Structures are given as C-alpha cells and as structure tokens.
Amino acid sequence: MKKLYFLLPFVFLACKSGTSTVAVKESKAESKPVEITYKVEESEVSDFLKYLSSDELEGRDTGTKGIEKAAVFLEDFFKKNNIKPYFKTYRDTLTNFKLPAFNIVGVLEGTDPELKNEFVVLSAHYDHIGIEKKQQPDQIYNGANDDASGVTAVAQMAKYFSETKSNKRSILFVFFAGEEKGLLGSKSMAPKLKAKNFNLYAQLNIEMIGVPMKRDYLAYITGFDKSNMADKINEYTGKKTIGFLPKEAEYKLFYRSDNYSFYDVFKKPCQSISTFDFENFDFYHHVSDEFKVMDIPFMTSFIQELLPAVTKISTTPTQEITMK
C-alpha cells in the first residue's frame, strides 16, 4: 500500500485442497450463495507468503534484484498451475519507470463461448519499499501484509480456478509492480488493455489482508458507495463478508490503490478489498511487517470465504455488479 502522508489529517497516497475436480453447487434461487467444496490449504498459504516476504527478496523494491526474484517465483507459480501468459510472456513491462520493471500477468480462459469474451481482473501488488538506508538491526521492509498477503490471496484464487475450471468468464490474474511508487504498474497497464479493446466486467484488487479486524464483517471495500459490489459479494457468500469502514471514505482509499487506475480508464466496477483498518496493525511501512506477525489461519479463512463471491462474479449470465 502506497505511503501514508499526514494531510488534513492524513490520506493514503496509494494505498491442497483436494485435487479432485471441485465442486461448485448453485441454488436455483439467485439470492442463494454458491456452495464450494474446494478447500484452501493453510500450509500452502503459509509457504507462499513466507517466501514472498522473506529477507531473500530484500523488500521487493521495484527495479531491484529482490523483486526480480519475486517475479520469477510468481511466473513459476503460474506455470505450475497452468495459468497462461496474457501477453507474449508473463511479463508486462512498465512504460513509466526508468529501470526494468514488470507486472506479472496470467490468464485463464472462460469456459462459456460467449462469456469468455468478458474479463474479471483479480489483482494485488507484489512490490514493496525495499531496504532502509540507515544502519539499524533490521533494514529490510519485508512487506508481508503490504502486500504479500494480497498476492497470496490472488495466487490461491488462481489455483482454485485452474483446478476447478469453474469460471465462465475469462480471468486475468495480475501482480502489479510500482504500486508503492505511485500506482505505476496499474497506470501503465490499464491504457494498454484499453487499446486492445479489453472487455472488462469488474476488477477485485486485494490489499493488506494479513490480520483480522475486530468488527462484525470480514473486510471492507474501497469506494463502498460507488457500485453494488459489496452487496453482491455478501449475496454471493451468504454472509456479512463486506462492510462499510468510515475511514475508507474519509481517506478516499478508492483513489489510492491499483483499482483506481483501472476505474479511471474503464469506468467499470474496480475496487479493493482490505482488512487494514488503521487499528489492527502497527507495522505499516515498517521493518516489522514480517511473516511472523501474519495470521495465517485468518488469511486462509478469508480466501475461502471469498471463493463463492469470485466464482459468482465469473459465472453470472448477466453483469450483475454495476456502478451507481
């Protein structure tokens, strides 16, 4: 999540499961949630997040050797899970950064002959802020919550769809670089897709979901009132999965993460989901944002709870999520 600055008072400046073929059971009633038999494995969530936030990757600053290692790791994950490159390779070069930098982009074609021409984007940023220049005991900004947690969630969703083939729409899985430097990865990519007549239905961006909130809902969504996405996600899960966080509106978080770059270009429902509520995590942009402070059981249950929602988003015969 891009760095916080203090300004009236402050705002964000960007913010195995069984290998069996799964099962997605839909009730005849449209308002009934999807039943998912696929189970997200806690050990896989843990292993993925542990490496992505390890010291070996040196804080994943855009344009460094550390983020290059992260890029290779993510490419290998896509290959292992039969997610194809959307472009010629998995690497989408940033056009707005002086050093070589890449978004990592994979695609899973939809199973419906008509709906496969529409795209859902599931995304998170895999960069962070690198290494502290001042000499101190710990100099690496590991970025476990920000945003290795979101990348882990998107990766597990990619694995789920790859195994179950439950998406009628095509899904673009995107790991953005350059978010911490001003949403550069998404700003570079969105116009490129628009020029290709990319048929976007909706984007769901995952940002900082490593620890739970002490509230009566699982997560909040940025731009709560801009679309009916929150209501539809709750309908699809059959739970109060998404709630309204007043600070999200106060700090205008809708405009401060990679969802906004896509909304700005496509004017479609493009929003971020997060559990960072300004009260539950003390290590934002701090060297102590490490794997050991992440709540792996919570992250696993978070991903599991979203599976019915992302499944319905990718399968409804009409575009039910709309801007207000």
Q: Is the peptide bond before 9 cis (omega within 30 degrees of 0)?
A: yes
Q: Tell me the average pLDDT of the chain.
A: 92
Measured in whole angstroms, how far is the alpha carbon of residue 205 from the centre of its chain? 4
Which ranges in 165-285 belong to alpha helices (H)?
184-195, 229-237, 246-250, 258-266
Distance, in Å, from the CA atom of 34 to the CA atom of 24, rounded to the nearest integer, reads: 7
CA distance 129 to 291: 16
CB 27 within 8 A of CB 238: no
Provide the Cα torsion 182, 186, 192, 196; round to 10°: -160
54-67 as b/e, with b when 16 or more CB fall inside 10 Å? Answer: beebbbbbbbbebb
Phi, psi of 131 (to 5 degrees): -120, 135
- The whole-angstrom separation of Cα 197 and Cα 180 is 28
d(CA 17, CA 183): 33
- pLDDT at residue 4 in the model: 54
Q: pLDDT of 286-317, one tens digit each? A: 999 999 999 999 999 999 999 999 999 999 99
pLDDT exceeds 60 at position 283: yes
Q: Is the pLDDT of residue 198 over 70?
A: yes
125-176: pLDDT as tens digits: 999 999 999 999 999 999 999 999 999 999 999 999 999 999 999 999 999 9
Q: Which residues contact 76 (CB under 8 A, 6 or more apart)?
A: none
* Residue 12 confidence (pLDDT) above 80: no
Instruction: Specify the amino acid at residue 150.
Output: G
Residues 6 or more apart whose Cβ sits within 8 Å of residue 45: 152, 156, 296, 299, 300, 303
The answer to whether the Cα torsion of 42, 44, 46, 48 is positive or negative is negative
Q: Assign residue 247 a region (left: φ > 0; alpha: ψ between -120 and 50; beta: otherwise).
A: alpha
Does the reported pTM lie above 0.75?
yes
Rounded CA separation 264/176 (Å): 16
Mean pLDDT within 100-108: 98
The domain made up of 36-313 is a member of CATH 1.10.3720.10: no
Q: pLDDT tens-digit profile of 111-123?
A: 999 999 999 999 9
| Secondary structure element (H or E) that encloses residue 75, with its range | helix 65-80
Structure-derived torsion over alpha carbons of residues 144, 91, 269, 296, reported in degrees to the nearest 10: -20
Q: Is the pLDDT of residue 88 over 90?
A: yes
User: Which backbone phi and psi does 276 adopt, to 5 degrees?
Assistant: -80, 110
Query: At 32, is the pLDDT very low, low, confident or very high (cuts 50, 70, 90)?
Result: confident
- Provide the residue type at 322 as one letter: T
